[in-house]
Amino acid sequence: MAKVYLTQCLCKNRHCIAAMTWEESEFTVESAITALKDAVTTGIDNKALDPWCNLCHNTEFSYETDLTPFSSIQETRPFLREAEARALRNKQNFDILRN
């Protein structure tokens, strides 16, 4: 059974900026963090990501990795889709409150 990890880019208030799941055969913790940092940097450089948290506007990001309870990337997909949808709803609610 494979081990599946989640690596996240978090703002100082622990809002998720970006994340990736990976199996232990694909990355090490260090290489996963490097890959996510590179993706976030590229996203910011290409204007696909803002250089701040869209919820609290914090600009300090940190990276962390943890083991998930999943045994395959396929098992993570419904969970991640729901988490992404929840985050989008939260952002939309914050945008409504700001306007």
The mean pLDDT value of the chain amounts to: 91
CA distance linking residue 52 with residue 57, whole number of Å: 5
Name the pTM for this structure. Answer: 0.84
Contact 65, 7 (CB under 8 A): yes
How many domains, the chain?
A: 1
**pLDDT tens-place string over residues 59-97:** 999 999 999 999 999 999 998 889 888 878 877 776 776
37, with CB counted inside 10 A (0-12, 13-18, 19+), is middle
Q: What is the domain range of residue 16?
A: 4-98
Q: Tens digits of per-residue pLDDT, 2-47? A: 899 999 999 999 999 999 999 999 999 999 999 999 999 999 999 9
Backbone angles phi, psi at 49, to 5 degrees: -125, 145
Residue 72 has what DSSP assignment? Answer: S
